[in-house]
Amino acid sequence: MTVGVWTVAVAVVVGLLWSCGVSAGPLAPTQLMVEYKSAPVIDESQPRFFWALGHTDRGQAQSAYEIELSAVSKSGSAAVVWDSGMVNSSMSAQVELPSSVSLTSDTTYSWRVRYWDSYGVVSDWSSSAKFDTALLTSSEWKGSWIGGANQLRKEFSLQKLKVIRARLYICGLGYYVAELNGNRVGQFYTGHFTTFQKSVLYDVYDVTNMLRPGMLNALAVSLGRGWYSWLSVGPLSLRCQLSVTYTGGTSEIVAISDLTWKVTSGPITYDDIYVGEDYDARLETPGWNLPGYNDSDWSSATSVSTPPGSLRVAPNEQVTTLDTYSPVSMNEPVKNVYVFDFGQNVAGFSKLHVCGASGTTITITHSEMLLQDGTLANMYSNSPMVDHLTLNGECIDYQQKFTWHGFQYVQLEGFPGVPSPDDGTLQSIFVHNNVEHIGSIAFDSSILNWIQRAMRISALSNLGDIPTDCPQRERRGWTGDAQLSAETDIFNFNMGSFYTKWIQDIRDEQLYDSPLTGAVADTVPFYNWGATPADPAWGAAYILIVNWMYKYYNDTRIIQRHYDGMRAYTENLRATADIRTGLMSFARYGDWCALLSCYPACLSTTVSSFYYLLELETMASFATLLGYTDDADTFTKVANNVREAWNSNLYNSTAHNYEHGWQTESALSLFLGLVPESDKEAVEKALIDDIVTTNNNHFTVGIVGVKYLFPVLQSMGRMDLAYQLAVGTTMPSWYFWETQGATTLWENWQSTQYVAYGSRNHIMFGGHGAWFYQAFGGINMQEDGIAWDKLKIAPVVEGHDMKFTTASVDTPRGLIETSWDKSMYLCASIPENQQATLQCTSGTITTVDFASFGTPTGSCGNYAINPACHASTSVDVITSLCVGKSSCVIPSNDATFGDPCYGTPKWLDVQLSGCSVLLTLDTTIPVGSSAEISVSKLGYDEVYVKESGQTVWSRDTFIPAVYGVYSAVDNGSEIVFEVGSGTYEFVVSESP
């Protein structure tokens, strides 16, 4: 049953919820993490701890905590190495291990936490969580750098004792796949893209259950070129060692990479990130990954040069897959050429099962687009994405090892026989960094749902160890694309460890390529792709993403570690600014790919100066936070000079717009409050006229404008126009791409089904995704909020035709959920020979929207009569029973309605309107957070609000009737309640 005229639900799930009459106190903490991850391997000497809180009472917060840290000894027992004692603090995220506590390398630690609430009552201890330390000093590496071929193996013996712990430390450059006793270590290839001259990353695996105690074991490693060799930094290289601990506490290090390893060339005869891979199954060496293989004719490994960068453990998640796609169709546009459509554009691999004669070569081509004749389009000359598989006379399952592709279509040539799309011959495997999915949002709009899904898949497709622009043509870490989509990614995924790695990449690149100037490059890692210094909107990634790490995760360490780098970049910007005006006229791309005559690079002093100002003011806040008062004063002064110069140099007082008159330029000026108050109304009107009249209800913005135009329109009170633009279906719009066959975001507004202006899997036009959550989901932080400590729950429920939206974000403090519904129905589905009572919370039922006794179909808001079985008296009977009443009892039987279809099981579906309830709002706020809850008045002058059945607002007065609801104000269009943690139910009515 759906009850109520309009319902909104907001929930933050952090354990059991508050309920009347129950006071069990604080609950044991949950969701324990270290350095943003569950059970990570770290090389931080002072790791940071995270946990979420639960409580059964309202208005609660953590007043103190206690952490207990234990080291798991070599004998397998755990001993406490640190107990914080009771620490008076409200922090439950980013709690740093004191420097007085020393961690040991290659060790498993367990930890647990408990907390005290506002009353001083302590919770139970949490369940224990674990993390491992990597090798904390370079001297602990025993293995040397070896190479010589792309297949390397080592056999070793273990003692006849039970293995209680084993960790493989491994770095394979560029990419590697490791197998232990025939079992793959990890899911796919592994390898990291860094500025190798500064940082080289290794991985650590728990291989305890893969070993054979008292027997011969084999470690086999395949190497691919990856970025390291493709960029000619160095040859195929391997460094590894295996740490083993036995029952009783003895330990040893085995499988050390040295010259005793044996090497040979394997079946991968060619691999290239962009071009593809050649695999000759006739060159396979069956059993080479198992112990006992005869490698006597293999060569010994050779020493290779030591990579120049420091060796560190990888902080980010590894590449994984969550989705595998089967073909939706197969065609044969040319004889013996078979084209498979997977129905979804992704980054990843294709997997082919095939049997055929030895020497048969199959060409496997990947593409994002078909030509009109049904064959594949070769879209990128630098990245053809073609693999060649040569068979050995046996059946084989082939999947690329050391390349990946961006594709929706796969073309097979030379396939023996006729393949089928339905028998598992070919699959598409979607791969990306295994970031935790923390956000979701669903709309009463198929268009917005499509945009959200396409945006998420494009985002994941471009998380390939670095935030790439696209997974096919360039595959590079374009800083502009990354910063513009960063908040979207943060709402959808846990990006903490991913951005920790990439921000260090930016610093490494700065130190390597621009140690004297402090410049940041367009792409990171750079390697002469793009340019340096970066366009100010691109280089802004360094400072802005660090700021979002602080805003959303309360990460002050990343500010401290990168302050010098960010300061150097800010000084580089200051040196680049126009001496005369103080503004930033330097630009390379501007509002890239705007729908203007300047396409694709729309250079703009307004755009460059917007980011210059944003960076100056952000750096001033960082300096203040860290206590660098001189820097704070300097950055603030320069920022004020930019503000003062803005309108005298950029504003057109006649046209009431900025510089070139672009929508983006006006939106940016409004976003930062740079428009003079006396001109604000005129600038807003000019912007609206340009959208509505000049461009026939279309935006013309590029990737910068997309992020800022929508919140600006919302702040102007034009949510109706923002929504209209968001759900547009003609070019330029996101859904126009869908009408042309898109399943992801594209690189260019003008692209069509058979005409591609660039990539078809680009995240750069996804900068508005965070606004979806903030506006329609209503999930916001207050202006001075950090890491969701002060919430602002304010879903926009007017200005569009949607009836509901549901959203959730799992924050460091707990899961925030919101849902609102203004479908305005009382609904019930009543089985035959039963009855139900429908009751208004306030007022009376006025209308019967639907009633059918028989076999109706559909659901609330979308019922339909089945003419073959429908009692014609249904509406009249329900009208007489219910209309004009506050409640009614509705029977469902033949005696009441007559029998419309004898012998058929029947039911009654009914949908009623009326009641004076305007809004029901359910909300739960996590422990330690407070919130402003905005309850819409839906245009009424006076309303009544109850919470948990008690009146808390009467016409124009707040009534402090329930605990946890502290105050309320009427801001004209809504009632804003101040609440503490807990679960609440607000009911808004026209009458008491």
pLDDT at site 18: 34
3-state secondary structure of 773: helix
pLDDT at site 702: 97
Residues 606-627 pLDDT 10s: 999 999 999 999 999 999 999 9
> How large is the average pLDDT for residues 920-941?
87
The encoded tokens of residue 174 equal: 């560029």
Find the radius of gyration of the CA atoms of the chain: 31
> How large is the average pLDDT for residues 194-216?
97
Q: Ramachandran region of residue 292, left (φ > 0), alpha (ψ -120 to 50) or beta?
A: left
Say how many C-beta atoms besides its own lie within 10 A of residue 385's C-beta. 29
- What is the CA angle 62-68-74, rounded to 5? 155
- Rounded Cα distance between 732 and 699, Å, is 7
886 vs 311, more confident: 311
- Is 309's pLDDT higher than 70? yes
Kindly list the distances between the CA atom of residue 229 and the CA atoms of 178, 226, 233, 392, 666, in Å, as whole numbers in the listed order: 18, 6, 6, 29, 46
CA 905 to centroid of chain Cα atoms:
47
156 vs 941, more confident: 156
pLDDT at site 617: 98
Q: Which residues contact 567 (CB under 8 A, 6 or more apart)?
A: 518, 619, 631
Q: Are strands 887-892 and 276-280 parallel, antiparallel or unpaired?
A: unpaired
- Is 833's pLDDT higher than 50? yes
Say how many C-beta atoms besides its own lie within 10 A of residue 141's C-beta. 18
pLDDT band of residue 23 (cuts 50, 70, 90) is very low
Q: How high is the mean pLDDT of the chain?
A: 94
- Is 6's pLDDT higher than 70? no
Segments of 275-371 assigned E as strands = 276-280, 299-300, 302-303, 310-313, 319-325, 329-334, 337-354, 361-367
- Rounded Cα distance between 577 and 582, Å, is 6
- Rounded Cα distance between 668 and 611, Å, is 9
- Is 507's pLDDT higher than 70? yes
Q: Are strands 426-433 and 237-246 parallel, antiparallel or unpaired?
A: unpaired
pLDDT at site 860: 81
- CA nearest 811: which of 560, 552, 522? 552
The DSSP code for 209 is G
SS (H, E, C) 233-245: CCCCEEEEEEEEE
> How large is the average pLDDT for residues 575-589?
97
Residues 625-672 pLDDT 10s: 999 999 999 999 999 999 999 999 999 999 999 999 999 999 999 999
- Rounded Cα distance between 892 and 894, Å, is 7
Query: Omega into 831 within 30° of 0, i.e. cis?
Result: no
Residues 391-406 pLDDT 10s: 999 999 999 999 999 9
Q: Which residues contact 519 (CB under 8 A, 6 or more apart)?
A: 510, 513, 532, 533, 534, 539, 569, 572
Kindly list the distances between the CA atom of residue 127 and the CA atoms of 30, 31, 41, 732, 820, in Å, as whole numbers in the listed order: 8, 10, 19, 52, 35
The encoded tokens of residue 986 equal: 């607000």
- CA nearest 49: which of 148, 140, 126, 118? 126
Half-sphere exposure of 470 (CA within 13 A, CB side): 21
The DSSP code for 134 is -
The encoded tokens of residue 282 equal: 């006739």
pLDDT band of residue 983 (cuts 50, 70, 90) is confident
| Most confident stretch, 15-29, 750-764, 835-849 | 750-764
Question: pLDDT > 70: what percent of the chain?
Answer: 97
Q: Is 962 exposed, middle or buried (0-12, 13-18, 19+ CB in 10 A)?
A: middle
- Rounded Cα distance between 244 and 241, Å, is 10
The helix or strand, by DSSP H or E, that contains position 13, with its residue range, turns out to be strand 7-13
Q: Are strands 779-781 and 790-793 parallel, antiparallel or unpaired?
A: antiparallel
pLDDT at site 22: 39
Say how many C-beta atoms besides its own lie within 10 A of residue 637's C-beta. 11
pLDDT at site 984: 85
Dihedral sign of CA atoms 793, 798, 800, 805 in order:
positive
- Give the position of tokens 């009431």: 656
- CA nearest 277: which of 154, 401, 99? 401
Of the listed ranges 162-171, 421-430, 852-861, the one predicted with least confidence? 852-861
pLDDT band of residue 20 (cuts 50, 70, 90) is very low
pLDDT at site 77: 84
Residue type, 599: Y
The encoded tokens of residue 394 equal: 């046996």
The encoded tokens of residue 214 equal: 């008292």
pLDDT at site 2: 35
pLDDT band of residue 7 (cuts 50, 70, 90) is very low
Residues 660-693 pLDDT 10s: 999 999 999 999 999 999 999 999 999 999 999 9
